[in-house]
Copies of this chain bind each other. A is one copy, B any other.
């Protein structure tokens, strides 16, 4: 942490800051330039080995310093997350998920292979789910997506089939050998959803639902953590840090669009987040072009763009009859469109020197 003093501060101001730092167990080292004095801050390392030892500096301290009358600004030197950072863990994390349909029975996310995850936005009926699962599996999807508990912006919208939906997902899994990913929305549902799912999804609206993050952090299931629609990369990695800090090291990030002024798409998909996450973190990242754009006609180009930018997987909404979907039909591919997408996915994956696991 570096404290930048105001231009016209005097010795007494500097002393005040140094005393403030000492009172909080830190030491300050002033150095005066032509225009102003800056104070480097050292110390504050917590008990070795604890996650708290990220400089051990209470994040509120910086803000308190910034509000001292003689302080112009406080510059942070370290990232506020640790377990999620590539500095802490330089190698790519790979996360294994049981998937009987692939050779070896396990698919690995975050390695050289790209993984396709597809299925309906929401589980609506056995027929709808089974038809979709069979079709996407046939094309090479390994993971089946489908919401049983659904966040709905309106209280009058469809909120999912609940446990009934989970049972259908489990049935599809045993029939087609796919891994199942589904959303969990509240801490008390984590056990229930874990009974049926292979991967727990935290939705965009819950990215900062800290009690939910704590709870899935105590689970042993892989977690797909969607980016909050207004979350910076740093806040997103801090949310991952919540899960990691509880002991669950199997976090997969998922870019799904952020909120901007543009009205032509539901969200603006931040493709640059894919290489940025690879830069800052060792965690795998996948992309959701269905939620990311809200428009069916953009799913194919944005899937290919995500692959070209380095995504470890794609999460795609597919519905046998999107015109009749109870939720988010406008962004679901038809089965025919998904079939048309797959060879393009194969081609781009190959072009960038990766492979795609389909069996």
Q: Is A330 an interface residue (CB 8 A)?
A: yes
- 1/0 per position for A1-29, CB-CB distance to B under 8 A? 01010111000000000001000000001
- CB pair B329–A63 under 8 Å, yes or no, is yes
- CB pair B241–A264 under 8 Å, yes or no, is no
- Residue on B nearest A41 in the bound complex, by CB: B33
- CB pair A272–B261 under 8 Å, yes or no, is no
- Residue on B nearest A189 in the bound complex, by CB: B211
List residues 114-165 of chain A with CB under 8 A from any CB of chain B: 151-159
Nearest Cβ in chain B — how far from A203, in angstroms? 9
- CB pair A302–B272 under 8 Å, yes or no, is yes
A103-111, A170-178, A292-300: which one contacts chain B?
A: A292-300
Q: List 10 A-B contacts (CB under 8 A).
A: A59-B152, A60-B158, A63-B330, A67-B296, A186-B186, A233-B262, A262-B270, A271-B302, A271-B305, A275-B301
A111 to B66: give the CA distance in the assembly, Å.
29
List residues 67-104 of chain A with CB under 8 A from any CB of chain B: 67-68, 75, 77-78, 80-81, 87
Q: Is A38 an interface residue (CB 8 A)?
A: yes
A50-58, A193-201, A218-226: which one contacts chain B?
A: A50-58
- CB pair A155–B51 under 8 Å, yes or no, is yes
Chain B residues positioned under 8 Å from A152 (CB to CB): 59, 210
Contact of A308 among B80, B234, B280, B301 (CB under 8 A): B301
Contact of A77 among B36, B263, B307 (CB under 8 A): B36
- CB pair B328–A156 under 8 Å, yes or no, is no
- CB pair B298–A302 under 8 Å, yes or no, is no
Chain B residues positioned under 8 Å from A274 (CB to CB): 301
Number of interface residues of A (CB under 8 A): 117
List residues 254-309 of chain A with CB under 8 A from any CB of chain B: 258-265, 268-272, 274-276, 279-280, 292-298, 301-302, 304-309
Q: Is A232 an interface residue (CB 8 A)?
A: yes
Chain B residues positioned under 8 Å from A67 (CB to CB): 295-296, 322-323, 329-331
Q: Is A242 an interface residue (CB 8 A)?
A: yes
Contact of A55 among B8, B35, B185, B208 (CB under 8 A): B35
Chain B residues positioned under 8 Å from A228 (CB to CB): 230
Chain B residues positioned under 8 Å from A262 (CB to CB): 232-233, 258, 270
A153 to B265: give the CA distance in the assembly, Å.
21
Pairs of residues from A and B, 3 with the lowest C-beta to C-beta distance, nearest first: A230-B230, A63-B330, A304-B308
- CB pair B40–A31 under 8 Å, yes or no, is yes
Nearest Cβ in chain B — how far from A331, in angstroms? 8
